[in-house]
Amino acid sequence: MKPDIKTLALERKFGEIEKAVYEDRALIGALVDTLSEKNGDVRSGALNLLSRVGFDYPSDTRPHLPALIALLDDPDMFIKIDAANAVGNLGFSFKDSAAQAAPKLKLMLDHEQSLVRQEAAYALGNIGFAHTDLVRDAVPRLIRMLEGGDDDEREAAAHALGKVGINAPELIRGILPKLVEVLEFSKEATCGGVLFALGAIGLHYPEEVAGLVPRLIRYLDSGHPNAVKNAVAALGNIGSGNPDLVKDAVPRIRKLMDSTDIDVKMNAKVALGRLGDPAAM
């Protein structure tokens, strides 16, 4: 007997729903149906679960993406935020869905609430990583967020610009001085996006960021996972084109292979692989 997804959702038993959906992904449709409920907690719980399931099984979630994209227009700001997160995690996999979502997300960059602007930026970054042409016209707006937003907005904008810049470095090469300026007053908790963007530029123009390498290395000892994982990624990107530039970072990156933080550990392994270090094997 199949579980009653609607009843479980109304009872906020999302752990049970998650287990059931992962065991039988045909239940994704029933989970999507709960998005029509009036209760915001039910809808948010469903969206967060769909974001996780869809990230692992995008093809199974693809038929339901129009329903998620429609929620980007929802008047409830928290639903908009959760929908943007879900669409950013899932929609970038499919260009047709990304093309439907991108215009709505761009409008959200001018929402009155910072949290909405932040989530829209993250989602556009994911789309831009896969389909640069769909977000090219949003780059100037993201740069303005980098210049005038609060700490969390700058983090989101910088991370989005970095994602776009991985495959289209010409779009962000000119903001290098601005990124350095933002880094001057960014806290370790909100500097990850800037570090990631610096690495995106360094992937293609390593010599232009060579002078920042000692500073990036210092972040490896910061103890803050967000700063550490993004500094590692940046150093790996910079060193992939010129390993000598980051050779002093290698011993510290090797130590991070023993980190208990899975993202730090994974980024360390990837970075060492980019540098051709045997520790990554």
Query: What would the pLDDT profile of 37-71 be if each residue is shown by its tens digit?
Result: 999 999 999 999 999 998 899 999 999 999 999 99
DSSP at 249: G
Task: Name every residue whose Cβ is closer than 8 Å to that of residue 211 and which is 6 or more positions away in sequence.
Answer: none
pLDDT confidence of 150, banded at 50, 70, 90? confident
Q: How confident is the model at residue 277 (pLDDT cuts 50, 70, 90)?
A: confident
User: What is the number of residues in the chain?
Assistant: 281
- The pLDDT value recorded for residue 120 is 98
250, 272 contact by CB (below 8 A):
yes
**Mean predicted confidence (pLDDT) in 208-236:** 94
pLDDT for 135: 97
> In this structure, which amino acid lies at residue 137?
D
Does the domain at 1-134 match CATH 2.60.120.10? Answer given as no
Neighbour count for residue 7 (Cβ, 10 Å):
10
How far is residue 219's CA from residue 237's CA, in Å, rounded to a whole number?
Answer: 15
Average pLDDT of the chain is 93
CA distance 32 to 68: 8
Backbone angles phi, psi at 252, to 5 degrees: -70, -40
More confident residue, 170 or 241: 170
Instruction: Report the 3 state secondary structure along 145-196.
Output: HHHHCCHHHHHHHHHHHHHHHHHCHHHCHHHHHHHHHHHHHCCHHHCHHHHH
Decide if domain 144-281 falls under CATH 3.40.190.10. Answer: no
Is it the case that residue 149 has pLDDT exceeding 80? no
Q: Which residues of 134-156 are buried (b: 16+ CB within 10 A; e: fewer)?
A: bbeebbebbbebbeebeebbbbb
- The model's pTM: 0.92
Quick check: 110 pLDDT over 90? yes
26-45: burial string, b at 16+ Cβ within 10 Å, e else: ebbebbbebbeeeeeebbbb
Mean pLDDT of 66-82: 95
CA 192 – CA 149 distance, rounded (Å): 15
For residues 139 and 163, what is the distance between their CA atoms, to the nearest angstrom? Answer: 11
With beta carbons less than 8 A apart as the criterion, state whether 138 and 106 touch: yes
Q: What is the reported pLDDT for 279? A: 73
Question: In the chain, which residues fall in CATH 1.25.10.10?
Answer: 1-134, 144-281
Please check the confidence at residue 280 and state whether its pLDDT lies above 70.
no
Cβ contact 42:9 at 8 Å: yes
Query: Which of 203, 220, 202 has its CA nearest to residue 211?
Result: 202
pLDDT tens digits for 152-187? 999 999 999 999 999 999 999 999 999 999 998 888
User: How does residue 281 score in pLDDT terms, banded at 50, 70 and 90?
Assistant: low
Mean pLDDT of 141-158: 91
